[in-house]
Every structure is written in C-alpha cells, then in structure tokens.
Amino acid sequence: MALAAERFFAMPFPLKIIFVSGLLSPVIVVGSVLTGTILPEDAPVFALGAARNLAELMLATAATVPAAIVAILMFLKRKVAILLFPLGYTAASLAPIFLAAFREDTDHMISSVLSALAVGVAASAYLFSSGMVRRYFERSENP
C-alpha cells in the first residue's frame, strides 16, 4: 500500500488529475446518466436517466473503459500509456454519442464533443511535452 501511495504522490499534479479522472470515468458516466426516481403513488421506479435502455448505458460506460485502462497503465509507469492516452480519452469523449437523448440535441452534441476533444488535445500535448511527466515515467519501478 505504501508503494501505491508513493507512486501517486510522485506524479506531477496535472498527471494526478488525469489519472483520477481516467480511473473514475466509468463511474462518472454511470453517475451522470443514471437517475432514480420514486413515484409516491406507485412502487419505486428507477429510470435510466438519459439512457433509453440498459444497452445505451452499457455502451456509454464501455466507451470509457479504455480511459480507465490508460490511467492504470500510467499508475504502473508504463510509457505506452502516454501513447494510448489520446485513444482512451477520445473514446471517453465520444461516449455520450451512444445516448439517443444526447444525439437528439445536435447543436449541443457537436459543441460538447468538440470541447471535450480540445481538452484531450491539450492534455495530450502536456503528456508528450512535459519534462516532469518524462521524469516520472523514467523513474521506473517496473520489474
């Protein structure tokens, strides 16, 4: 456990944010899409929120799994994580497209996806150009 804490605290601060958000991305998607409502006159009814069915929710959540895998690889100091980050982040950014309710609002959809991809480009530029990130991955504790 001490080794895990040491690895986390050895990360540069922006990398910590990328790691935590990537690791929690499936949970964030489920939490932001899934809502539960209880109608007082009937039995409890749990809605799927923005998802019309469970398949939509599962697809949106599955699209964020690559981001979580990349976060784990970053924590393990695998340099391939830097190369895979743009793919994982893009997949997570496109996750809302699996929701029909999101696709119905085309103007919001386009601006949302483009802004998410712009953040991904900025984060990727940081990962590829930062000396602190390079030093973090060079201080490898891998076998």
Say if residue 53 is exposed, middle or buried (CB neighbours under 10 Å; 0-12, 13-18, 19+).
exposed
CA dihedral for 112, 117, 88, 25, sign (positive or negative): negative
pLDDT of residue 13: 94
pLDDT of residue 14: 94
pLDDT of residue 23: 94
pLDDT of residue 103: 77
Residue-wise pLDDT tens for the chain (143 aa)? 678 888 899 899 999 999 999 999 999 888 877 765 444 555 444 566 677 778 888 898 999 999 999 999 999 999 999 999 999 999 998 888 888 777 777 777 788 888 989 999 999 999 999 999 999 998 765 54
pLDDT of residue 50: 72
Residue 95: DSSP 8-state: G
Half-sphere exposure of 122 (CA within 13 A, CB side): 8
pLDDT of residue 47: 60
For helices 106-129 and 13-33, the axis angle rounded to 10 degrees is 160
pTM: 0.81
pLDDT of residue 62: 94
Helix (H, G, I), strand (E, B) or coil at 63: coil
pLDDT of residue 3: 83
Helix (H, G, I), strand (E, B) or coil at 41: coil
Contacts of residue 117, defined as CB under 8 A and 6 or more positions apart, other chains included, come to 90, 93
pLDDT of residue 85: 95
Of 92, 80, 82, nearest to 21 by C-alpha is 92
